[in-house]
Each structure stands twice: as C-alpha cells, then as structure tokens.
C-alpha cells in the first residue's frame, strides 16, 4: 500500500475508531491517530500506529497532528446525542476551533486531501417540524436555521472548507452524517445517541426484571439511522470522489422512536411498559436523508437495514453491561 501518511482526528471516538480499524484492514500502516481523550479511554486502539493524545482545539496541537500528513479525516468534535447537544451548546460551538486550526494547519503543511465530518443537524428547522418529514435534500440547509449550537458550528465549518477550497485550492470533501450507530461507541453516561440508549434501556429492563422503559418525547418523532459499516464506506467513497459540496450520508429508512423501541424489544424478546418524558430533549420532530444525490454521484447509498444493524449493536451493548463496563468519561 502507499506510504502516504493518513491522519484520523477523533480516532479514539466511535466513528473515528472504526475508520482507523478499516484503513488498517486495507493494509495501510502509516496512520496517525489523534484524540483528546487518554489513549486508555479510546474505543479502539492499534498499538503499532502513531497514537497521540492532543487537544485539537489548540493551534499548536493541530500543527503537530498534520506534520507530513497526506490525507486527513477530521472527525474530531465535542458532541454526543440529543441529551448532550441540547444542554451544551457552547461546548459544541467551541468545536469550530478544531476545524479552523485543522484547515489552517492543513494549508501550512500542504495536505493533499481533507475530509470534514458534518451533520444532518445543519438542516433548517422549519423543514423538520412534522413527524411525516419530507426527506432532506442537501439544498435544504439554506436559508440557514440549523440546530442551535451544534448545527451552527457544523454549518460554519462546512463554509470554511468551501472557502479554503475556493481561495487556496485545497482539496476538501464533506459529508453530512445522519445518526450513525453500531458497536464500540458510547452507550451510557449522557452522550449516547438514541439507538444505543434504547438498547441499553431495554437490556437493563430485561436483566433487572423491571419491564419498564422511559422514552424521551412522545415517541412519535422520526429519524433514520445509519449503521457504522455504511458510514465508513461512504466516507472513503466521498473522499475519493469529485464531489466538492456537502453530501448526505445516511440511511433513508425512516422510523419513529416508538418503532425503534419495537425493534429493540423484539431482539430482546421482551415487551416493556412505556412512559414518556415530555420534558426531556427530543430534537426536531422529523428528519430523514434524501439520497438522490449520493446515488447519482456514487451509484450507492447506505443500505443496511435497521433491524440487522441494531441486532449487532444490541449484542455488543449487552456484553458491556453483563461485564460491568461503562463508556469512557470525557
């Protein structure tokens, strides 16, 4: 394989850890992995790589991270599920420092290719007011009114990537992730996303014998959820493509949160009494990915069915709980 230096920022996290594992499987060895957390708290660690604990909100850290780099995947951000991003808007906004310093360092070190992980939270709120949402096209991000805090940071960072490309000739690629889930990710502690949280709650209810579950919101809010394997494939296809504008990367299999609980219950073989916390963070009423553009440009779109991916996620979280493990503390 090529001796180019691949840098994966946020590589100690969920998606970043899986991306590291995938490029290692492909035969790459010259990989630098960066994360703010202690290496002992990374979700996946490969000892033979150049693993570094650096805070990429700092300019000097970004310059260290990208020295001699060829390809950069910037997945680093201070983020979590809805319970985190609705209550930590300032922390989410501070992630703009990461992409600012990373782009500046990439320009300085003449990085050949730069990938930025954006989010479906950039989409205008008035397009997501109904559970029967019309799937979001890439153009629906404007006129801009994204999710407060996290969504604004992602949209601003997209524009930075665009202008670094236009003004400095940099090779930048962007994907808007829609609710990525799978094993080896946060499932408790407050930063977990809906699939992991629901799996955890169902497992705990089954193991405790207390067959009850609390659902945030009324359960009618709708989403699509993309399995991690599809995310990895999409990231690398987009990086290799000629697509310069942000592109949706998500499943278009729309389900309600109640239906997500139905699937988790069926996997567990239990039926739970449901209570609804209408004061808990729930996000927009409906969000789904329009995959017309990714199909047009790449001839592919995420296609792992939710049931199949959730079975693997459930099994992994079940083992974590049975073995009394917990998500790392950030």
Q: Write out the catalytic residue numbers.
A: 150
8 forms beta bridges with 33, 73
Cβ atoms 92, 83 nearer than 8 A: no
Residue 290: both structure tokens together:
């329009």
Nearest Cα neighbor of 218 from 275, 164, 265 is: 275
Element (H, E) at 195: helix 194-208
- Give CA 4 to chain center in angstroms: 25
Query: By the 8 A CB rule, do 291 and 250 touch?
Result: yes
Give me Rg for the CA atoms of the chain.
19
CA distance 113 to 43: 25
Question: CB of 226 within 8 A of CB of 120?
Answer: no
Angle at 1 between CA 294 and CA 164, to 5 degrees: 50
Q: 50 in helix, strand or coil?
A: strand
Angle at 146 between CA 289 and CA 139, to 5 degrees: 50
CA distance 232 to 12: 15
Residue whose entry in the numeric block shows the structure tokens 């780099």: 69
How far is the C-alpha of 19 from the C-alpha of 10, rounded, in Å? 10
Strand, coil or helix: 107:
helix
């Amino acid at each position: 394989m090529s001796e180019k230096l691949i840098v994966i920022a946020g590589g100690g996290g969920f998606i970043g850890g899986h991306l590291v594992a995938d490029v290692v499987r492909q035969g790459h060895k010259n990989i630098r992995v960066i994360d703010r957390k202690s290496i002992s708290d990374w979700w996946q660690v490969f000892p033979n790589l150049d693993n570094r604990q650096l805070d990429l909100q700092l300019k000097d850290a970004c310059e260290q991270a990208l020295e001699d780099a060829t390809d950069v995947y910037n997945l680093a951000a201070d983020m979590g599920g809805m319970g985190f991003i609705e209550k930590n808007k300032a922390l989410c906004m501070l992630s703009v420092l990461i992409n600012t310093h990373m782009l500046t360092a990439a320009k300085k070190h003449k990085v050949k290719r730069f990938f930025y992980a954006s989010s479906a939270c950039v989409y205008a709120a008035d397009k997501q007011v109904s559970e029967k949402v019309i799937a979001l096209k890439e153009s629906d991000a404007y006129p801009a009114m994204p999710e407060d805090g996290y969504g604004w940071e992602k949209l601003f960072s997209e524009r930075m990537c665009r202008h670094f490309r236009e003004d400095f000739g940099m090779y930048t690629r962007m994907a808007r992730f829609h609710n990525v889930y799978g094993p080896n990710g946060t499932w408790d502690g407050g930063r977990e996303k809906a699939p992991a949280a629901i799996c955890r709650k169902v497992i705990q209810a089954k193991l405790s014998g207390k067959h009850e579950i609390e659902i945030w919101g009324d359960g009618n809010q709708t989403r699509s959820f993309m399995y991690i394997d599809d995310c990895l494939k999409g990231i690398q296809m987009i990086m290799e493509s000629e697509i310069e504008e942000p592109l949706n990367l998500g499943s278009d299999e729309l389900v309600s949160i109640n239906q997500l609980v139905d699937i988790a219950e069926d996997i567990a073989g239990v039926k739970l009494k449901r209570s609804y916390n209408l004061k808990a963070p729930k996000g927009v009423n409906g969000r789904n990915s329009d995959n017309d553009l990714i199909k047009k440009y790449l001839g592919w779109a995420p296609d792992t069915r939710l049931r199949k991916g959730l079975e693997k996620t459930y099994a992994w979280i079940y083992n974590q709980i049975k073995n009394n493990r917990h998500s790392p503390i950030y």
